[in-house]
Chain A
């Protein structure tokens, strides 16, 4: 079966750095997405990786290793507004998105 694993919850301190991991087992691979979802709101797109390596976008970076079935989202200079759930999703060989359950990130002052 297809599976996306990510930690259920993480806690970090304002101003610090946090890394949210995602491992996947899917039928084929056509890209990995990270979305941010604030409580009670819609998910919003953060990043897309289809090739191995690091993609940097401001305070957020996303890394992919296809051979390891592994990705991480790195958040730097954490702000209180970064408190949210972070969803990892993989597009399989049929171009269907398989979603992880999300990682709830709690930022403490």
Chain B
């Protein structure tokens, strides 16, 4: 089983709908992240959390919200989806070691029509 699990893996929805992407991890890491990836662009950080009581906005947080339900769970919500939120979304975790290496989930492909 994957250490970082995202659900759903694929979702097609309509403009205006509320969508939640869920992420759970078994690595025991405190730090969790949500990124989106678009063709021709680098990964862009949406939100990050360094522990259960810590939530921080990333580069592109507008239109998104998050919830850190437990150390192992970090959910991303789109309250009212719009077509330019069509993208590949990745959850990632990291420990507090020297390198800060990120461990990514398998990705959630979201299409907003």
Contacts and interface: CB of A to CB of B under 8 A. Distances in A.
B42 to A, nearest CB: 3
Nearest to B4: A42
B42 A87 contact: yes
A47 B64 CA distance: 31
B99 A42 contact: no
A41 to B, nearest CB: 7
Contacts of B51: none
Interface of A: 4, 8, 31, 33, 35, 40-45, 48, 87, 89, 91, 95-102
5 contacts: A4-B42, A40-B107, A41-B106, A42-B107, A97-B43
B42 A43 contact: no
B104 A44 contact: yes
Interface residues of B, number: 16
Q: Which 7 A-B pairs have the closest CB atoms?
A: A99-B42, A42-B104, A48-B99, A99-B43, A45-B101, A101-B42, A100-B42
A17 B103 CA distance: 28
Given A41-B107, A42-B90, A102 B42 contact: yes
B73 interface: no
Contacts of B90: 42-43
Contacts of A100: 42
Residue with the greatest number of chain A CB neighbours at <10 A, chosen from B41, B42, B106: B42
A96 B45 contact: yes
Contacts of A44: 104
Contacts of B106: 41-42
A43 B102 contact: yes
Contacts of A99: 42-44
Contacts of B43: 43, 87, 89, 97, 99
B54 to A, nearest CB: 14
A4 B42 CA distance: 9
Contacts of A31: 99-100
B105 A48 contact: no
